[in-house]
Amino acid sequence: MGERAVFLDRDGTLVHPRHYPSRPEELCLYEGIDAELRRLQAAGFRLIVITNQGGLAHGYFTAADLDRMHAHLTDELARHGVRLDGIYYCPHHPEGSVAELSIACDCRKPQPGMLLRAAADFDLDLQRSWFVGDILDDIEAGKRAGCATILVDIGTESLPTATIREPHFVASDTTHALSIISTFERLGPVANLSYLPSSWQLREIAYAR
């Protein structure tokens, strides 16, 4: 049996959303998420970031810039006692301006390519793993890979129109999302599992796995 992982989107989930950040200081962790990350890490979960970085294809920043940003992110989490096991990013965008990166690919979310690559690298059991993200492309990628999924509600997403984009749970913020995982893995206090954003009240979307 493979290891378990919690996959985390970067912008809007692990750090505050920002339009194409290009400098390390622009990646600002959400306050208070470190305790839940430490709890999951202590329970044996790998913590892996899965992020689309189409800004590379658009020429907004370079791979070296991205490496500096991710080194900063890794260091900031380490200061809080959290170790990232990996950061996987997709540099592609079909409408980019950098020719070699302006392609359709199998790694850009909502495709599951990055999760499948991480699973191979770390011998992960995707059926026992979770994906936490703030947009429905994250949810689709997680479900295509076989993970349980949690949508962090930052107010940007409308009702999903296909089952593959319906999250198993919706959380009010990332700390809440991580506490839902802890609840189902019997690691801590019971979290609120019935949260729905006001725009979703007409449809019950939180499913027990």
Per-residue pLDDT tens digits for 68-90: 999 999 999 999 999 999 999 99
Q: Kindly indicate the confidence band of residue 1, based on its pLDDT and cuts at 50, 70 and 90.
A: confident
Task: State the Cα–Cα distance between residues 57 and 47, nearest whole angstrom.
Answer: 26
Q: Are strands 86-90 and 169-171 parallel, antiparallel or unpaired?
A: unpaired
Residue appearing with tokens 């990055």: 114
Q: Which domains does the chain have, with CATH numbers?
A: 5-149+158-166 (3.40.50.1000)
Mean pLDDT score, 194-209 = 55
**Cβ-Cβ contacts under 8 Å for 96 (sequence gap 6 or more):** 54, 56, 57, 58, 59, 102
The answer to whether residue 190 scores a pLDDT higher than 90 is no
Which of 11, 34, 134, 153 is catalytic? The answer is: 11
Please compute the mean of the pLDDT values over residues 153-177 and round it to a whole number. Answer: 93
Tell me the residue type at 202: L
Task: Give the pLDDT band of residue 200 (cuts 50, 70, 90).
Answer: low
Among this protein's residues, is 9 annotated catalytic? yes
Is-catalytic flag, 11?
yes
93-to-19, 97, 103, 106, 121 alpha-carbon distances in Å? 15, 9, 6, 11, 24
